[in-house]
Amino acid sequence: MAHGTDLNENSAVAAKRESERIRARDRYAAVLNVYMEEPPRVAEWRQLTKTPNVVVVPFFISDGLHSYEDIPELVGIATSSSASVFGAHKIDNRRLYYAPSIGTDAGVADIILEQVRVFDREKLHAGAAS
């Protein structure tokens, strides 16, 4: 799920691209794009999904108010200051798994470093060619 907004038509492009890549692997019953501020909305997950288990992964670079407060409220996770919102939640006889933001995964740093190495190699190669 991503933020989504009709103020910028490109706001959901990356999330749509990545969910399409996941969908193409054909490993899950369904892979949907949902958003906070544009349809299809994450708050409608009960109507949009049919499976007994649903996983919501925020497509954000870090966790913040959206991850800790807004999204849990939108999906119906009962929150308290002492309990983590992340993990499994039983909602309407279904299991909703709520993950931390994708950008918090340690592997993201490896992806960034690899992109830097690719850039450096290409820059070095371009310099040698001129």
The sign one gets for the Cα dihedral 54, 77, 43, 11 is negative
- Within a domain: residue 63? yes
Categorize the per-residue pLDDT at 45 as very low, low, confident or very high, splitting at 50, 70 and 90. very high
- Within a domain: residue 128? no
For residue 4, count CB atoms less than 10 angstroms from its CB and return exposed for 0-12, middle for 13-18, buried for 19 or more. buried
103 has pLDDT over 60: yes
- Within a domain: residue 35? yes
The pTM (predicted TM-score) of the whole model is: 0.79
Q: How much is the average pLDDT of 13-39?
A: 92
For residue range 56-94, list pLDDT tens digits in order.
999 888 888 888 899 999 999 987 665 689 999 999 999
125 vs 119: CA distance, rounded Å: 10
Give the residue among 102, 3, 96 at the shortest CA–CA distance from 45.
96
CATH number of the domain enclosing 42: 3.40.50.1400
In order of 55, 91, 123, 124, 126, the CA distances from 129 in angstroms are 48, 60, 10, 9, 5
Q: How much is the average pLDDT of 9-23?
A: 86
- Within a domain: residue 97? yes
The tally of domains found in the chain comes to 1
Mean pLDDT in the chain?
88
Any alpha helices (H) in 9-64, and if so which ranges?
13-24, 45-48
Give the residue among 99, 91, 112, 18 at the shortest CA–CA distance from 63.
99
Give the residue among 1, 7, 79 at the shortest CA–CA distance from 44.
1
